[in-house]
Amino acid sequence: MLLGLEPDQLPRHIAIIMDGNGRWAKRRSMPRIAGHRQGAKAVRAVVTHCARLGIEALTLYSFSAENWKRPKREVDFLMDLYGEYLIAERGEIMENNVRLVHLGRREGLPDSVLREMDTTVEQSQNNTGLKLCLALNYGSRTEIVDAVRRIAATVRDGALDVNDIDETVIADSLYTAGLPDPDLLIRTANERRISNFLLWQISYTEIHVTERFWPEFDVEMLNEAIRDFAGRERRYGDTEAARAKLLKS
């Protein structure tokens, strides 16, 4: 029994919006890039812990399609940091049986980042443990646009009838094809918005918000979020549980 919970009480897929790197640094009179570097250390601890818990998938909102609007110096630093992270963590990824998956558009990402990402994806493709999904150059609306284009091309080519388009066809055309939808979405820094993240996939996801900035997020905070999730009743629109409670009262 992990965390005092039965295995079926654990979320299969955890998604995290890692927010507050810049504010963490500002409160310490440090440059924003120092917050990003500290945030990368938090990633390592969370990934390792999820792998040990037997979580099936962990999706990290690392760099959105809108983040290109940030100052060039900060964007350049982040791209360098991603390359460094992929190189530095490759051994840990392999040791913990983690499989790396990229979610997002490749177009626009530096060749150096794509090279290191492709290397890690290739080396870890046969790993059977945690699927670490790095949402890099990701936007949910962009993802849906790409899915619609993919489906439209299939219909155009005669491989799919338009009347056969259903939720499964759409889900299988998203970047997350083959992954379970997130059970738990964690957002740090006390922000209470979705920010164009996994809009299709989080229809019935439980949301946990913490006031802590991402560089402060640690294993105990992750455990707290998981216990919070385990204590919730998930009905997916069904009223049977509510009706049963009413009959008992």
- Residue 22 sits in a domain whose CATH number is 3.40.1180.10
- How many folded domains does the chain comprise? 1
Instruction: Look at residue 47 and tell me if it is in a domain.
Output: yes
Please give the full DSSP string across 14-36, using - where no structure is assigned: EEEE---HHHHHHHTT--HHHHH
Euclidean distance between CA atoms 171 and 202, whole angstroms: 12
Of 116, 41, 50, the C-alpha closest to 84 is 116
Residue 67 annotated as catalytic: yes
| Active-site position among 19, 21, 137, 183 | 19
Tell me whether residue 159 is in a domain: no
Residue 102, CA atoms < 13 Å, CB-side half-sphere: 20
CA of residue 89 relative to chain centroid, distance = 17
Whether residue 76 is contained in a domain is answered as yes
Of the listed 8, 21, 67, 196, which one is catalytic? Answer: 67
Is a pLDDT exceeding 70 seen at residue 242?
A: no
Q: Is 0.75 topped by the overall pTM?
A: yes
Q: Which domain holds residue 18?
A: 10-139+180-248
Say if residue 187's pLDDT is above 90: yes
Query: Is 137 assigned a catalytic role?
Result: no
Instruction: Express each pLDDT in 101-127 by its tens digit.
Output: 999 999 999 999 999 999 999 999 999
Residue spans of alpha helices (H) in 72-218:
72-88, 90-95, 111-124, 140-156, 167-171
Distance, in Å, from the CA atom of 63 to the CA atom of 134, rounded to the nearest integer, reads 9
Which DSSP helix (H) or strand (E) runs through 177? none
Question: Quick one: pLDDT at residue 185?
Answer: 98
Q: How confident is the model at residue 240, as a pLDDT?
A: 59
Which percentage of the chain shows pLDDT scores above 90? 91
Whether residue 25 lies inside any domain: the answer is yes
Question: What are residue 132's DSSP bridge partners?
Answer: 58, 100
For residue 73, being part of any structural domain is answered with yes
Q: Tell me the sheet residues that pair with 61.
A: 17, 135
Q: Is residue 117 assigned to a domain?
A: yes
In a domain, 174, yes or no: no
Residue 26 forms part of a structural domain? yes
